[in-house]
Structure 1
Amino acid sequence: MSRAADGPSAGEVTAAGDLAEADVVDRGGSADGRASWWSRWWVRVLVVYAVSRVVTTTVLLILASVQGANPWTAARPGYFDFAAIWDGRWYNIVSIAGYPSTLPIVDGHVTENAWAFLPVYPALVNVVQFVTRMPWQVAAVLLSVVCGAGAALLFYRLLRRLAFSASTSLFAVVLFCVAPVSPLFQLAYAESLYIFLLAAALLLVVERRYGMLFPVVAIMAFTRPSGLAFALALGLHVIYRWVVRRKDPFPLRERVLSVSLTVFSAIAGLAWPAIAGLVTGDLTAYTDTELAWRSVYIGWVHLVPFAPWFQGADWWFVTMLGLPSWLGILTLVVVIVLFAVVLFAPAVRRLGVDVRFWLIAYSVYLLAVFFPQSSTFRLLMPLFPLLGVLALPKNKVYRGGIVVLFLALQVGWLLIAWGVDGADWTPP
């Protein structure tokens, strides 16, 4: 596997032509060195982000205007109330009441409760609310919007660090901002904060700034379940650096820091389940809580690693579609194989080994523990670096077409997953 195919290492640089373009465009100037503030890279990224949020806000307002009464709001709710339904209400509960010391039990099984929702996002919303005196829903949306803007900026910098051109990086940001699940950047969900932290973490890994990663990893692990997946990615990173250490030096200090960081990430990933167990006196409190959400599909089951997707394939094909079980399993296997092949495609290899390690690790994590249902689209959000690959073609028809497609899928996702239709079983 050549170094060129695997993307640049921390010590490598892009070709002279790309560097010239980067220097001129990212400074926001022209070839003669003149610069204007409105043409700087961060301004362009923020303009893209702002325009995309206006589009999504318009769609959300239209949906809110036809939304009927539901478990969270009255009919035709205002924007901020509409943006804080579903899991937003759970984060609101955590903000107000914290976590239960006794798990709710119905018919001998743990039911849905606040332990499924990690504490960093609601805690930060409380801080914003305290400082601004805004209502909780407004503070939550404000935090999400700001974090989404930060994530867009970091995504651009990550792609530039990976030697993507300025124009490709900016178009990748466009796709990032109009992606089907991008409304989460302005809803009362923790994803916006998490993607911001993840983009920062990936950039730090690529730049091998291991010391700065410790606090980022810790906060990430208490924002969304991620510590174990990131630990796996870091483990692959360490192994790779050791294997290629003769071509790419791996100093003792970096060995110690990177291995320590890997262990730290694994511990952080196990910390929240451990805390839930200690507080409630039930060692499986967290996993039992998570399993409660899939019980409406497949009943009460134990968590068996790598079983949920096969259970899901069986449920979707047999229960929902009336098709043979083997067809669902075959479809799942084909999807997994195709995704694995894609990760080694030349275009994807441009993301570099470190980012691909994350794509692999997070995909394995999803396959191991999550049950596929309507929330799966949201759970695929951490695979966002792949948008850099989709942004590579420069054909204007292609670029315009994929933006239109993403916007259409965004409307579809909001209609299916966000809007509430009676006893809705398609949560976002």
Structure 2
Amino acid sequence: MADRLLTPALRRWLRTPVAGRIAIVYLVSRLITTAFLALAASQSSPLSRFGADATVRDYVLGWDAQWYWWVSENGYPVELPRTDSGDVAENAWAFMPVYAFLARAVGFGDWGTGALLVSLVAGLLACFALHRLLRDRIGASAAMWAVAFFSSGPLAALFQVGYAEALFMLLLLVSLDLASRYRYAALYLLIPVMGFTRPGVLAFSLFLALHGIARWVRRHDDPLPAAHVVHIVALGLLSAIVGFSWQLIAAVVTADPSAYLRTELAWRRNWIQDASPVFVPFDGFVLGAQFWFRHWGMPGRVGVVALALLVVGAAWLLLRSAPVRRLGADLRLWSASYLLYLLAVFFPQSSTLRLLIPLSPLWGAAVPRSRGWRWAMLSACLLAQWLWIHSVYGLSQTFWQVP
């Protein structure tokens, strides 16, 4: 009876295997993103970073993609480049090697084609991984909508440009799924690859520590075998070692113990001229809050208060929000770990939205209950995606238009 009330198209959709539905959602999303990129290119002006004759391929190879291409062609500098003032300049050590060299291999030397293929395929597989991660927590239908939001979200263009985010998300989502199912063995392979794809594996080390504590607390209801304890501790240490190893490698190659940190701080000088040459945990967000509020014509202390309120609000959402609590302890612990990591190491600027991509499991908490609101949410995602593409690729004229 209920089946007869459905339209033929909806019946065919529901009878399509889940993998097929995810692939269709992803394909349609990529077509829309391509149309957005083409439209932005057609509106590009001589004032844009990409010029009046910009193409979609220019966008695939734009911004940080140029650094990954440089790494694939030239490797990493033995001697750190310097500015006129003697400070360490922006250089390739800020970009991890896995995506750069994988794109070169896949493209058989044509790095742009390889980068596009790696991002496209990794994005599709990440959608499969996200659905698997969420379906038992929020239901198959809501998980499918979360995939739609993920693949069509504000930064969905990252699935088809030369950035490492899509590959990192695939590795991260699979790793979170394995950890939540207590299938720890495969993580010994995934963690090093993830750690050399994009910064963030130190947050995974913290997540594993919190995951282990949570399992210890629940051990009477959820048995915690000794083998699992060994795996959790070993994997947490492995994540930490991988997370710090890039700093060690940069130090050995350049003979500068602070090569990596000074390289990362070089980007901060684009925003704060008198930025400290020494990395101080949590200092970046405080300085950033003051910088932006002064830029907006308000006292810097207002920015600090706003930052404190933002931290309290995020903590409340993770601890008390019913939709977020439905996602389960592991996804909330990961979200808390990653947010704490960002607070410790990042300076908030135009790339902040992109840096939030690893929080994508939270799309599962953003799925409304009614179908109408779900379509409204999807429409909002597409609108936000166009605005982001138009700003950072189409206009691309000023300091806050860096993706």
Partner of 1:23: none
8 Å contact kept, 1:348–1:386: yes
CA offsets, 1:105-145, max 9 Å, x none? 11121010000000000110011022xx6x32122111100
Partner of 2:65: 88
Partner of 1:406: 381
Partner of 1:169: 143
Rounded to whole Å, the distance in 1 between the matches of 2:139 and 2:184 is 26
Rounded to whole Å, the distance in 1 between the matches of 2:136 and 2:254 is 45
1:220-259 superposed matches below 5 A: 220-259=194-233
Partner of 1:364: 340
Q: What secondary structure does 1:210 align onto?
A: coil
Is 1:104 paired with 2:78? Answer: no
Partner of 2:329: 353
1:324-363 superposed matches below 5 A: 324-344=299-319, 345-363=321-339
Rounded to whole Å, the distance in 2 between the matches of 1:259 and 1:248 is 18
8 Å contact kept, 1:99–1:115: yes
Rounded to whole Å, the distance in 1 between the matches of 2:41 and 2:337 is 37
8 Å contact kept, 1:227–1:267: no
1:10-29 superposed matches below 5 A: none
Task: Identify the range of structure 1 (235-244 vs 90-99) with the bigger mean alpha-carbon deviation.
Answer: 235-244
TM-score of the two chains, using structure 2 as the length reference:
0.93
- How many residues in Structure 1 have an aligned counterpart in Structure 2? 390
How far did 1:97 drift?
Answer: 0.3
Query: Structure 1: any 5+ residue segments left out of the alignment?
Result: 1-29
Partner of 1:55: 32
Is 1:389 paired with 2:350? Answer: no
Match of 2:174 among 190, 200, 208: 200
Is 1:323 paired with 2:301? Answer: no
TM-score of the two chains, using structure 1 as the length reference:
0.88
Match of 2:236 among 259, 262, 269: 262
Rounded to whole Å, the distance in 2 between the matches of 1:312 and 1:74 is 30
Partner of 1:136: 111
8 Å contact kept, 2:350–2:402: yes
Partner of 1:22: none
How far did 1:72 drift?
Answer: 7.0
Rounded to whole Å, the distance in 1 between the matches of 2:396 and 2:145 is 35
Amino acid at match of 2:263: T
Rounded to whole Å, the distance in 2 between the matches of 1:192 and 1:257 is 27
Rounded to whole Å, the distance in 1 between the matches of 2:50 and 2:200 is 31
Rounded to whole Å, the distance in 1 between the matches of 2:316 and 2:99 is 35
CA offsets, 1:322-357, max 9 Å, x none? 111221111111111011000022221111111111
Amino acid at match of 1:371: F
Partner of 2:127: 152
Rounded to whole Å, the distance in 2 between the matches of 1:352 and 1:194 is 22
Q: What secondary structure does 1:110 align onto?
A: coil
8 Å contact kept, 1:104–1:110: yes
Rounded to whole Å, the distance in 1 between the matches of 2:186 and 2:177 is 11
Task: Identify the range of structure 1 (266-275 vs 393-402) with the bigger mean alpha-carbon deviation.
Answer: 393-402
Query: Structure 2: any 5+ residue segments left out of the alignment?
Result: 1-10
Partner of 1:216: 190
Partner of 2:56: 79
Rounded to whole Å, the distance in 1 between the matches of 2:267 and 2:239 is 26
Rounded to whole Å, the distance in 2 between the matches of 1:333 and 1:411 is 31
Q: What secondary structure does 1:297 align onto?
A: coil
Partner of 1:14: none
Pick closer, same or farther for the CA change 1:38–1:288 going to 2, 3 Å: farther
Is 1:114 paired with 2:92? Answer: yes
8 Å contact kept, 1:80–1:138: no
8 Å contact kept, 1:229–1:362: yes
Q: What secondary structure does 2:347 align onto?
A: coil
CA offsets, 1:347-375, max 9 Å, x none? 21111111111100000000001011110
Rounded to whole Å, the distance in 1 between the matches of 2:322 and 2:372 is 23
